[in-house]
Structures are given as structure tokens and as C-alpha cells.
Amino acid sequence: MNPSGNSLRSRREALGLGPSELARRAGMTRQALHRIEAGDHSPGVLAALHLARALDCRVEDLFHLPDAELEAALVGQAAVGQRLHLAHVGDTLRAYPLSGVEALSGSADALLTATLPEGRAHFAPLTPAQGWEQTAVLCGCDPALSLLRGHAAPARVLLRPAVSETALAALVSGEAHAAGLHLYDPVSSESNLPFVAAALPDEVVHVYALWSWEQGLTVPPGNPQQLASIADLGRAGLRIANRPPGSGSRRLLDHWLAQVGLDASQLSGYPDEYASPLDLAGAVAHGQADVGVGPRSAAQAHGLAFVPLLRERFDLVIPDRHLKHPGVQALLQAARSPTLHAELRALGGYDPAESGQPIATFSPSPPRSA
């Protein structure tokens, strides 16, 4: 955003228009356009309308008062000056601080100018508001979600890394349009559905298959300890790598340990938590651990060996109120792409045979009569 309070240049460049072409479309000289973009001149109403029409947007997407304070609900913690992504989830504009690799290389929608009580924030926009309305927010932990997002282009999808229980909670709190889950229920031997039904009992929710993947033991090349089962994790001197509470892999590990009678507190490395499956596999690859529970794809990405123990489903959960969002529809279309399926199979351990197909729809139970 330039100091004049207009995003004219950024929108023009986003559409691939040169200044001469935009000036021609808007019926003004190139010099006049330059003065407006530079903040040296404020256009009249007619000129502003012509510019908005030429850029296929609203006048308010291009111009606002320099001292106008725009406000959003802040997701997570952020410091003044931090770069933000913006997206409308339902009727609420939400601001997501950039983190990780994106904090250094990703493009931002705004800069945080002030934090307010009750999780609100003021921001200075860097991109037109029209883009925020079209942005979908997807939460989940599987690295393959980045591939799914890539195949959803040109739709804009923000991918928010989160363990499965946190991703589901983001749907409940209205911080995401969709969530990728892999939560195995040992009681029903069912993936995801019992958790979705319990978390969102009062609204219509759709569950779509994304893929199934193999979960098991990630071990060094050649499996030097010759590990073959969860019971082998009780060997003296063995150090494990773990995932955080709320992750599907952590739930599996705890269930499997209980099945074979191993006390988690007695296992070396059990408190060592890694944020993603790739981080866990990296710990094994760098000798920080001897074994960890995770998907085959993460082990293969680091050149590690893998002992399969379970095939589970990884699903996409979408509240009905978000189903028609253009970004969500683009994700579902991408999930059915043969090209994506080929890439998933190349990663190892993935089966996309049902990708994009509906699994279940949950509806609120009717109220009981008195």
C-alpha cells in the first residue's frame, strides 16, 4: 500500500497490465495515472469509476482514506509490524500472521498496525479487498496438502499447518473453511467420522475422501535395529521421536502402546515432540531418534526405511456453509485431478483412488419432543 491510501499499482501489476494499457482503458493519460499511483493526485469520482471498471473491481477496493483503520479478528499471536494474510471466513474478516518459510518468502495482504482487546487487530492493507473475499483457509498437517493447494490454482488457498485435532477445532471456531484430518478411532475402527460428528453436532458438515496413507514406524535406512512392531519400542536404549498431542500419529502411538502394555513415560524420547511428519522423519534422519510413528511419505522423503502398521484415511471436512466457496470448490476439483493422483503415488504410501469422493454428510439431530 502506498501512502496515498490506494492499491492501484498493486492491482494493476497483479493483473499483468502495464501502465500505458491501464491508462488507455481508463481514458486518461499515462502521466495522470502515474500521479495517482504515486499518491501525488487524488482522482475525481468519474476517474475512480473508470479505473475500477478497467480493473474489474470496486472503487473501495482501490482507494481508501489514508487514516482509515481497518480491523480484523487476529488468529494467533503477532507483533505490530508483522505481515498478515487476510481471508473472510463466513461474515468475519480474519488476519493470519505469516510464519515459518512464508514469513520470509510469502506475499502478504497486510501489515499489523495495532493489537486490540478480544483478539481484534488493526491493519494496513497491501492487497485489494476483493482477494480476501475469494480466499479459502485450509488447516491440516499432511505435507501433501501443499500439492492439493497447488493444483487448486488459480484459486487462492491459505494452508495453515495444524495437527488434526487443532484443524478440526479451527472449523468449530470459524477460523477455517476446510480441515484435513487423520484421526483413527480404535473403538469403531473408523477414521475421522466419529470426531467430526462429536465436534460439529449442530450443523451440516460434509466429509470427502482425499487419500489413504500408510502409517507405521519411521526408521533409519536398512532398519539397523530390526524393528518390526510397536512392542519393539520397549527395547532398552531405543530413543523415539513423537508428535504433539492432538495429532493423528500421536493418538495412534498411544493406542498401540496401551495395546502392548508399554508405559509411555518409560520410553526414552517420548516427550520429544516434532511439529510435522517431515520434522519427525528429519529427527530420525539426523540421528536424534531411532524411530518414530508417521506416514511412509515422510520417511521416503528423507530416504529412510519404513515399517507399515496401518492404512488410514485422510479426509477433507467442510461445513455446509462453506461448501460453495470458490476456493473450497477448487480444492475438491483438484482432489479429483489425475495429475495430482500421479504425484501422490510417487510420494510413496498414498492411495488416491477415492480422492474427492463424498464419504459422509452429518446433519443436526432434530430436537426431541417434550
Give the model's pLDDT for residue 67: 47
Q: Greatest CA span in the chain, whole angstroms?
A: 79
pLDDT tens digits for 73-110?
Answer: 999 999 998 999 999 999 999 999 997 767 666 789 99
The whole-angstrom separation of Cα 238 and Cα 293 is 14
pLDDT, greater one: 310 or 68: 310
**Residue 286 scores a pLDDT above 90:** yes
- Residue 116 sits in the same domain as residue 179: no
Tally of domains in the chain: 3
**Residue 320 scores a pLDDT above 90:** yes
Residue of 348, 343, 311, 296 whose CA lies nearest to 209: 311
276 confidence band (pLDDT: 50, 70, 90): very high
Main-chain phi, psi angles of 160, to 5 degrees: -105, 105
**237 near 271, Cβ under 8 Å?**
no
Give the model's pLDDT for residue 105: 67
367 confidence band (pLDDT: 50, 70, 90): low
pLDDT tens digits for 107-157?
Answer: 899 999 999 999 999 998 888 888 898 999 999 999 899 999 999 999 999
How does strand 291-295 pair with strand 205-219?
A: antiparallel
> Is position 2 within any domain?
no
Q: Classify residue 213 as left (phi > 0), alpha (psi -120 to 50) or beta.
A: beta
> Is position 370 within any domain?
no
Residue of 283, 287, 292, 279 whose CA lies nearest to 240: 292
Q: What is the mean pLDDT of residues 277-300?
A: 96
The whole-angstrom separation of Cα 256 and Cα 274 is 19
- Residue 173 sits in the same domain as residue 150: yes
3 confidence band (pLDDT: 50, 70, 90): very low
Residue of 235, 297, 304 whose CA lies nearest to 267: 235
**Residue 340 scores a pLDDT above 80:** yes
Q: What is the mean pLDDT of residues 249-270?
A: 95
> Is position 41 within any domain?
yes
Q: Report CA 312 to chain centroid distance, whole Å.
A: 20
> Is position 46 within any domain?
yes
**Residue 305 scores a pLDDT above 50:** yes
- Residue 103 sits in the same domain as residue 17: no
> Is position 3 within any domain?
no
> Is position 122 within any domain?
yes
Q: What is the mean pLDDT of residues 3-26?
A: 82
Range of the domain at 106: 69-128
Q: What is the mean pLDDT of residues 20-44?
A: 86
| Domain endpoint, select from 62, 80, 105 | 62
13 confidence band (pLDDT: 50, 70, 90): confident
- Residue 318 sits in the same domain as residue 360: yes
- Residue 175 sits in the same domain as residue 58: no
- Residue 273 sits in the same domain as residue 186: yes
| Domain endpoint, select from 91, 109, 128 | 128
- Residue 38 sits in the same domain as residue 165: no
The whole-angstrom separation of Cα 247 and Cα 202 is 24
- Residue 151 sits in the same domain as residue 239: yes
> Is position 39 within any domain?
yes
Give the model's pLDDT for residue 1: 35
**Residue 159 scores a pLDDT above 50:** yes
